[in-house]
Structure 1
Amino acid sequence: MVNRQLQQPGRKKLCQRGFTLVEMVTVIIILGILAVGVTSFIVFGTRIFLDSTSVDQVLSQSRFALERMTRDIRNAAPNSLRVRSDGSQWQCLEFVPIEAASNYLSMPVYPDAAANSGTAIIAPMPISADYMALIYPLVASDVYANPESTTGKLFSINSVSTAANITTYTFNRSVQFAEASPRQRLLLVSEPVSYCFLQGGSSVSLYRYADYGINHPTQLAPSSMGTGVLMAEGVTNDLASDAPIELEPATLVNNAIVMLSPEFEAVGQKFRYQQQVQVVNVP
């Protein structure tokens, strides 16, 4: 038996087809254009994100540094602020912070005889024997004096005891305060704090120094204060002609005012702070 395959009328022969070279090249070109566009969009978006992150980081650190600096300055003992600069490489603001305050009842104040103790109303804050007693400072030399002297306005406290809402402060020797406070204010202070703008390379950084002692009649340079804590970077002030700190000393009718004007830079953008800090504490 013979099998025959009949070809039906009008039936075409099937064949397989593929991409031509022109079609492949066209597709490659189109995909390349799309890839370049997508890549540029991604790179541009990433660059915007990185730039905004850098700006936000500088803004955050500068705001934190200025806020910390402002709070410390407002807590400064009256007439303890002083500013010093070498003219080009650094500028420092120094002050003595108040840790507690009260009103004294009995203190060895001139013309009373020297004594090794005194009493005051109990302070609302805890008192440490590491503090120093300060009464009626009128100039910086009243504050930056030897706390181990016999006559003056600043003395180291040896011990503290409280009974019946009265605190007794004991000194390690007989002392005599030079002047009485009109309001009988007793300021309990700790060692000085300094904020310094230091030139380093092409930019300026802000450092905070503490625990370097108080017996320094002449304000120290940053190199003599030990190791400072970095507070902010990217400051662009020219310390020779555009100092970031200005001090307006206290007068009989005005409190001391510190004017802060540091300028920061991030990814080519500069922004300057203009902030005035008033020291409301009075002798």
Structure 2
Amino acid sequence: MGGHFTAPAAALADELPGWVTLLRAPNPGPMTLDGTNTWVLRAAPGEPAVVVDPGPADDGHLAAIAAQGPVGLVLITHGHPDHTDGSAPLHDLLGGVPVRAADPAHTIAAAPVGVGTPPAVPGIDLRLVPTPGHTGDSVCFLVEHQGQRVVLTGDTILGRGTTVVAHPDGHLGDYLSSLELLSTYTGIPALPGHGPALADCAAAAEFYLAHRRARLDQVRAALAAGATTAAEVVAIVYADVDRSLWWAAEWSVRAQLEYLGRESGDTGVGLEQT
């Protein structure tokens, strides 16, 4: 559980509910896997849909989203550019459809989620699930239609591999708490921000928790062995990760070091500058 892995954290979903459509943006890469997942949820033909995470400002991708109209609402799981750069042009393309995110900076023509009226479209029950950790503004959405439920997890849980804790905005303590919350959603499919849909949100969250705890043990061991900087910890703990991704691993290590510092009461543990 402590090693680097790129496989799904739980079994893949056999199929998507009939009211869920996946549009994958053409932005594949080491951090985005096959590309950003844009999810379109619609209760019935002709009803306004909700779009979750417009993705990048790619004209073809945004046109594909608009072709799924009518759209009544756009939701954002967190503010990273690969999820939000398309928000403003999609807002315009859809004639001013509101965009709601936890961060007001990514909210357009509406109140942020968590403020005022809960997000709503006809026939679909949308519930906000605050899940900070990957970023400070990360949220998930528990969605139900005709007895079927899904959890849109953004980058809190991915379809393959693990996500980074984007220090200093992201915090590991918050992330562990968010995973504990998601581990209660037993048997509910997870629709992630990248990668394939997973059959069981709880199983994926539990796997992530075990992986994160194993990583913390590895970081403790690296510190005990004499590592004094985040870069030195990365070189030991993430030795099996391609060096081109060490910059991202250092985000998570800095979050891990901050967490261990709070745990021990030593807020400076391992945080010397590199």
Q: TM-score range by the shorter chain?
A: under 0.3
More helix by share: 2
Considering Cα pairs closer than 8 Å and 6+ residues apart, tell me whether 1 or 2 has the greater RCO. Answer: 1
TM-score w.r.t. structure 1 length? 0.24
TM-score w.r.t. structure 2 length? 0.25
